[in-house]
Amino acid sequence: MVLKKMKRHWQLYFVVLIPMLYVIIFKYVPMYGALIAFKDYHVVQGILGSPWAGLKHFEYFFNSPNFWPIFNNTLGISLYALAVGFPVPIALALALNEVRQGAFKRLVQMVTYAPYFISTVIMVSIVLLFLDPHVGIVNMLIQALGYQPINFMGTAGFFKTIYVLSDVWQNAGYAAIIYIAALAGINTDLYEAARVDGASRFQKMLHVDLPGIMPVAVVMLILSVGGIMNVGFEKIYLMQNQLNVVSSEVIATYVYKEGLLGANFSFSAAVGLFNSVINVILLVTVNQVARRYSENSLW
Amino acid sequence: MANKGAIRESLNDRVFMFLIYALLTVFFLVVLYPLVYIFSSSFSSPQAVLSGRVWLWPVEPTLMGYQAVFKNPQIGIGFANSVFYAFFGTFINVTLTVMLGYALSVKGFYGRQAIMGMLVFTLLFSGGLIPTYLVVKGLGILNTRWAMLLPGALAVWQVIITRTFFQATIPNELREAAEIDGCRDVGFMARVAFPLAKPIIAVLFLMYAVGNWNAYFDALIYLKSPNLFPLQIILRNILVINSVDPTMMINVNEMAAREGLKNLLKYSLIVVSSGPVLILYPFIQKYFVKGMMIGSLKG
């Protein structure tokens, strides 16, 4: 029975062979490898041969003085990024939707998408150059206005804001695309009806546009919340220095430093696993909540 | 959309539209200005940049910054390596993605639900950094060019986009008709499906190519030899590591001469490394928009 079903498209098994080999080797074998979080991993003994350690590494992490600061930074940066980064693209899309097709609209769209294509390394370099205490343009402006220069990157308190605002600068335009597409798909009868009812432009935005993009917004929100524990390691690591580390150390940078720079494989794997598990729980929970209170959810 | 604007705009609506245009203009300028400033600085003299005389246009135009960039041998090596990784990496990415995406779009393909499930699960949960690193190490490809090509050979999200594209463009009847005529899967793929897939291949090609060009993280963890480093690592060494000097709040004039060229080089380097993508970008942006649309069909 099964064999007969399999025979119909037998050639496709060869087609998926190499891609699935990749998925198994680079995605599923590491999941199995995450077992070392419960072991005392030694290179010579390998994953199976290393002795079991139970929850030792997890306990050590939870009890270490680093735990709460790192956990709070991870959550804090993410929530801050979500609170600012989620509404801005929606506002941008709603505003662009009001503007007639033409040169102005095309120009705004083209320029605001552009930073998305800048690499993380370059993005961070730009931030560092602009905020440099003595040669950066921001501090030159501050000095021109008669104030003392501010050492932005060397002040822990500024870190999260710099991270979030530069993220919005880089990604808001691109993130707006999906909402612009959703707005273009709204049934024109609704606008007609709103016009007949004498709705103002603002009322139309509030009662037609906004509900129209809700389904997309909910899905985007679920995805963002699902990624909360995966704050942009690449960018944070580049922005980090000794002076701001108290507010820039997140789980991902900690895993990297402990694991690869410090060679504490098992401990670091435990921290990483903790992160992954929280992520799954968050994603499932948000999806559940979304399913209960609206018709939109991922599954 | 045309019937949205009423014939006579009320005062209310005109104020609203004024606010919309004001908002968009501000956002547009906020995004544009840093790009213009970097571009202009890169063509100015070191003294002009350091002393803050560059605000909008290049001051005392020179090509000194660019000469410094092209004299640096590291940058040349990094550029060549990045071209290599981006070219072969993208080739592998697109080939594997299209193969898997196509197979998953075939309705009667026994086991496609299971494969799909396996793929989606990797989006939810991952083994983490350390176990993945250990796999790469175990394969013996640490510090080789393969470490830049294999671990990221396929992005699950793009496979889903590709599958959605094939489902939408190739009707099942067409495949069944071909089957009756004795055309097997591989023949159908080569003669019918792939020629129809040119738009999605273009989208995948560009998304992967930009991603590969901008990536630095895999190189950071898997490569040790400087002659294998991609451009982004070289950029990080020059732009980020050198410039994180937040403790240096000392006499500006003393530093100026020495720092001048180093500072200018950074602006020129940013332009040289991001320029190619940003110049191409107006021509390729529609493919990115298209990719995002297809992706959102079945989020």
The answer, yes or no, to whether residue B23 has pLDDT greater than 90, is yes
The confidence score (pLDDT) of residue A226 equals 74
Any CB–CB contact under 8 A between A206 and chain B? no
By C-alpha distance, the chain A residue nearest B132 is A30
The confidence score (pLDDT) of residue B24 equals 93
Question: Which helix (H) or strand (E) is B255 found in, with range?
Answer: helix B252-297
Choose the closest CB to B252 out of A126, A134, A202. Answer: A134
Any CB–CB contact under 8 A between A21 and chain B? no
Structural domain that includes position B84? 76-299
The total of structural domains in chain B comes to 1
Within-domain flag for B60: no
Q: Which of A299, A124, A120 is nearest to A226 (CA)?
A: A299
CB B59 within 8 A of CB B41: no
Most confident of A205-214, B68-77, B182-191: A205-214
The confidence score (pLDDT) of residue A298 equals 67
The confidence score (pLDDT) of residue B93 equals 95
CA distance B265 to chain A (A): 11
Mean pLDDT, all residues of chain B:
82
The answer, yes or no, to whether residue A244 has pLDDT greater than 90, is no
CB A58 within 8 A of CB A270: yes
Span B261-273, average pLDDT:
85
Q: Which of A146-160, A283-297, B266-280 is predicted least confidently?
A: A283-297
CA distance A47 to chain B (A): 10
B110: which chain A residues are within 8 Å (Cβ-Cβ)?
Answer: 2, 5-6, 8-9
The confidence score (pLDDT) of residue A299 equals 67
Assigned token pair, A169: 């600068």
Report CB contact under 8 Å: A9, B185.
yes
B265 in helix, strand or coil? helix
The answer, yes or no, to whether residue A192 has pLDDT greater than 50, is yes
Any CB–CB contact under 8 A between A178 and chain B? yes
The answer, yes or no, to whether residue A93 has pLDDT greater than 90, is yes
The confidence score (pLDDT) of residue B2 equals 44
Any CB–CB contact under 8 A between A193 and chain B? no
Within-domain flag for B23: no
B168 in helix, strand or coil? helix
The confidence score (pLDDT) of residue B254 equals 52
B108: which chain A residues are within 8 Å (Cβ-Cβ)?
Answer: 5, 8-9
Predicted confidence band of residue A200 (pLDDT cuts 50, 70, 90)? confident
Assigned token pair, B108: 């009667």
The confidence score (pLDDT) of residue B238 equals 83
CA distance B290 to B201: 12
Predicted confidence band of residue B246 (pLDDT cuts 50, 70, 90)? very low
Any CB–CB contact under 8 A between A184 and chain B? yes
Any CB–CB contact under 8 A between A126 and chain B? yes
Sort A15 into a burial class: Cβ within 10 Å, 0-12 / 13-18 / 19+: buried
The confidence score (pLDDT) of residue A22 equals 94
Within-domain flag for B92: yes
Q: Which of A55-69, B63-77, B115-129 is predicted least confidently?
A: B63-77
Residue type, B14: R
Within-domain flag for B246: yes
Q: Which of A153, A5, A76 is nearest to B247 (CA)?
A: A153
CA distances from B73 to A171, B76, B77, B78, B143 (A): 33, 5, 6, 9, 21
- Structural Rg of chain B based on CA atoms: 25
Span A102-107, average pLDDT:
88
Report CB contact under 8 Å: B259, A135.
yes
Span B66-73, average pLDDT:
80
| For chain A, percent of residues with pLDDT exceeding 90 | 16
Span A114-133, average pLDDT:
88
**Model pLDDT for residues B51-62, shown as the tens digit of each residue:** 777 788 888 888
The confidence score (pLDDT) of residue B253 equals 53
Ramachandran class of A46: left when φ > 0, alpha when ψ lies in -120 to 50, beta otherwise? left
CA distance B262 to B265: 5
Most confident of A90-99, A129-138, B121-130: A90-99
Within-domain flag for B243: yes
pTM, two decimals, is: 0.85
The answer, yes or no, to whether residue B85 has pLDDT greater than 90, is yes
Q: Which of A212, A202, A203 is nearest to A180 (CA)?
A: A212
Domain harbouring B140, CATH code: 1.10.3720.10
Report CB contact under 8 Å: B128, A30.
yes
* Domains of chain A: residue spans and CATH: 56-120+164-293 (1.10.3720.10)
Q: Which residues between 66 and 85 in chain A have a beta carbon less than 8 angstroms from any beta carbon of chain B?
A: none
**Model pLDDT for residues A163-182, shown as the tens digit of each residue:** 999 999 999 988 898 898 88
Report CB contact under 8 Å: B153, A22.
yes
The answer, yes or no, to whether residue B1 has pLDDT greater than 60, is no
Inter-chain Cβ pairs, chain A and chain B, closer than 8 A: 302
The answer, yes or no, to whether residue B247 has pLDDT greater than 50, is no
The confidence score (pLDDT) of residue B257 equals 53
Choose the closest CB to B20 out of A99, A137, A149. Answer: A99
A188: which chain B residues are within 8 Å (Cβ-Cβ)?
Answer: 1, 3
CA distance B107 to B166: 11
ipTM here: 0.83
Sequence-ordered list of residues with C-beta below 8 angstroms from that of B118, at least 6 positions apart, any chain? A20, A23, A28
More confident residue, B32 or B206: B32
Span A135-146, average pLDDT:
85
Within-domain flag for B275: yes
The confidence score (pLDDT) of residue A243 equals 86
Report CB contact under 8 Å: A201, B24.
no
CA distance B230 to B179: 46
